[in-house]
């Protein structure tokens, strides 16, 4: 489950550069449908069925999909983006790639910890789905509502803190503190240190976050949303 969460949230980093992607698509021989095809493997990755046994073979299967996505995106950005656009995408997605490569490296501490707790965490996927649905609703508010565009970074920070707090309430009693810590490490490691330090200021139960976040249990539009990230998250939440 953590791997799917990580990829869905972390692709916000790449999709956050959507203007760069769209600008690149304007170039001759570059089309957004090529970018969409790159995302196909990512969508298969996050659609890991509930109850899937977490073992070395399953992780290798996930990592093959990740490598396909990474290679496809590398080819697209190299061919279709300017050097400056490429640098921006690298900056936004660097944490994701580092974490996923560590996850895919046999014998790594991250992989060992995931193997230890993965089955337990996966069993809580249904209960934890509510946490991700609330995050999805906040993503839609921050990316679709142009009237409050200045609040987007703060809203996403608040939403991420609420997601982590919700996952802790659901998963820690069943799987222990270490399972939560590895999940937090994966998610926080996805973002740059500057972004992490910025987000640390925004706690979901603060007055500022209560003002910015949609109320808990707000139903997102999901697959009908114009938010690319929300549509990707819908492959997990089934909203």
pLDDT digits 0-9 by tens, 65-103? 888 877 887 887 788 777 777 776 666 566 667 778 888
Lowest mean pLDDT among 52-66, 74-88, 160-174, 218-232: 74-88
Q: Largest Cα–Cα distance in the chain?
A: 54
What share of the chain in percent tops pLDDT 90?
20
CB within 8 Å of 120: residues ≥ 6 apart: 174, 175, 176, 179
Domain residues for the domain of 124 are 2-237
pLDDT tens string 19-44: 444 454 445 456 656 666 666 666 65
Q: Are the C-beta atoms of 11 and 45 separated by less than 8 Å?
A: no
Of 143 and 140, more confident: 140
- What span, in angstroms and rounded, lies between the C-alpha atoms of 3 and 175? 16
The percentage of the chain sitting over the pLDDT mark of 70, rounded to a whole number, equals 67
User: Taking 70 as the threshold, does the pLDDT of residue 53 lie above it?
Assistant: yes
- Give this prediction's pTM: 0.73
- Residue 46 confidence (pLDDT) above 60: no
């Amino acid at each position: 489950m953590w791997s799917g969460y990580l990829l869905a949230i972390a692709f916000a980093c790449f999709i956050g550069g959507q203007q760069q992607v769209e600008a690149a698509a304007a170039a001759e021989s570059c089309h957004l449908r090529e970018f969409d095809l790159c995302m196909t493997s990512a969508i298969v990755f996050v659609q890991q069925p509930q109850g899937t046994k977490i073992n070395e073979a399953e992780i290798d299967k996930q990592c093959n999909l990740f490598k396909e996505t990474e290679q496809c995106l590398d080819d697209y950005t190299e061919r279709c983006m300017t050097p400056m656009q490429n640098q921006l995408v690298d900056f936004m997605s660097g944490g994701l790639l580092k974490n996923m490569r560590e996850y895919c490296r046999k014998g790594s501490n991250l992989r060992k910890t995931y193997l230890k707790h993965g089955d337990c965490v996966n069993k809580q996927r249904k209960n934890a789905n509510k946490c991700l649905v609330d995050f999805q609703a906040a993503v839609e508010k921050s990316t679709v509502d142009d009237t409050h565009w200045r609040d987007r970074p703060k809203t996403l920070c608040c939403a991420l803190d609420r997601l982590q707090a919700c996952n802790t309430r659901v998963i820690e009693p069943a799987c222990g503190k270490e399972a939560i810590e590895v999940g937090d490490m994966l998610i926080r490691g996805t973002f740059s240190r500057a972004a992490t330090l910025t987000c640390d200021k925004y706690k979901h139960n603060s007055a500022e976050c209560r003002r910015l976040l949609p109320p808990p249990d707000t139903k997102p539009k999901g697959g009908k949303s114009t938010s690319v990230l929300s549509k990707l998250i819908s492959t997990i939440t089934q909203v």
